[in-house]
Structure 1
Amino acid sequence: MFTNPEQFASATKTLFELQMMTFNALTSKAVQGVQQVVALNMATAKDKVEESMAAGKEISQAKDPKAALAAAATAAKPAMGAAVEYGSQIKVIMDDIRSEFTQAADAHIVEAKSALTALIYDVTQNVKPGSENAVEIIKKAIDNAFQGYEQVTQATRQAVQTVEAQIAQATAQVMPGAAKDK
C-alpha cells in the first residue's frame, strides 16, 4: 500500500488536477465556440438589415410593378447564397470545436491513464503480506474514478454531437437544398 498518506493524497490530487485541466480546456473551447457563433450571427444580422434596407429603397424607387418585382427577385438571390455561406461558416466552427474537444479529451485521458498506472504501481510495490484485499479495494476505487472520468469525456463528446445535430437541423430548415449537398 502507500508508504504514507501523502502519497495517496498526491495521487488523488494529480487525478483531480487532470480532470480540472480537461474540464477547463473543454469549457474554454465551448465558450470560444459560442462567441464565434454569436459574432457570426451578429455579422449576419447586420448584413441582412443593410441588404433589406438597400432592397427596400430599390423597390420603393421602382417606376412600375414589374420593375419592383424584378428588384425584389434580384434582392432574393444573394440571400440564398448568404444562407449557404452562413451554414458553411457554422460547420467550420462546429468542426473546430469537435476537433478541439476530441484532442483535449484524448490528451487528458492519456495523462490520466499514465497517472493511474503509476498510482497502481506504487500501491502494489509497497504491499505488506496479508494486505492484498486492501490493494484490490484501492485498485477498484482508482479504476472507478477513471471510468467516471471517461464517462464525463464521453458525455462531453455526445453534447458536442447533439449541438452539431441541432445546428444541422436548423440549417436544413433555413436552406433545404444545402443540407442535402453535405
Structure 2
Amino acid sequence: MAGQRRYQRALDDLEGLIIARMFELYKAVKAAIERYNAAADAMTPPKDHLSWEQVVEYTFLADFDLLCEGREDIRGEPWALPSGRAAMDQHYKLLRADEEIKRLNIEIRRFVTYMVDEEAFLLHHEERLVAESKPGLAHQVGRHRMECARFNVLHMVSLGKLSTEKGFTGSISPGVSVAMWRCIQCR
C-alpha cells in the first residue's frame, strides 16, 4: 500500500508539472500572438491577425504560411517538408532498431513468463479456497482464471506467429520469475 501511495503521489506530481508547463506554454504563445498582432497592425498596409486557434492548427512548420514572410522562408528546407520529416523519422527508427529488438526479446519472454505464472498462481489459490471450504470465492477465482486463459491463448497464438517470422531472434518459452526462483532457492 505504501508503494502504491508513493507511486500515486509521484504520478500526481508529474501530472501537475505537465499541466503547469502547458499553462506556461499557453501564456507564452498567447503573449507572442498579441505582440505579433500589434506589430501586424503597425504595418502599412496592416497584416492579417493571428488567433490562438490558427496557431494551434499549424502542426508542422511547412503548414505555417506566415513563415514565408520571415527573413528566410524555411518551409522549403528538406527538414521542414513532409517527405524530409518522414525520412528523418525512418532514419532514427533504423538507428534504434537493434536496441528495440533486444528490448522486445526480453519483454516477450517476460510476458510469456507472466502468463504462465499468473495461471499457476490463480489455480493454486482456487484449489486452496476449495480446500478451505470457500466454494464461492473459489468459483470467482476460477472464472477469472478462465477469462485470463482465453486471452492468454490469443496472445500465445500471436506470439507463435511472430516467432515464425524470418529474423525473429527471441524466445516464446517461459522463463523463471524472480518469485519462483526465490521459492526454488528456499527448498
Identify, as 1 or 2, the structure richer in helix.
1
TM-score, scaled to structure 2: 0.31
Q: With a CA cutoff of 8 Å and minimum separation of 6, indicate the structure with the bigger relative contact order.
A: 1
* TM-score w.r.t. length of structure 1: 0.32
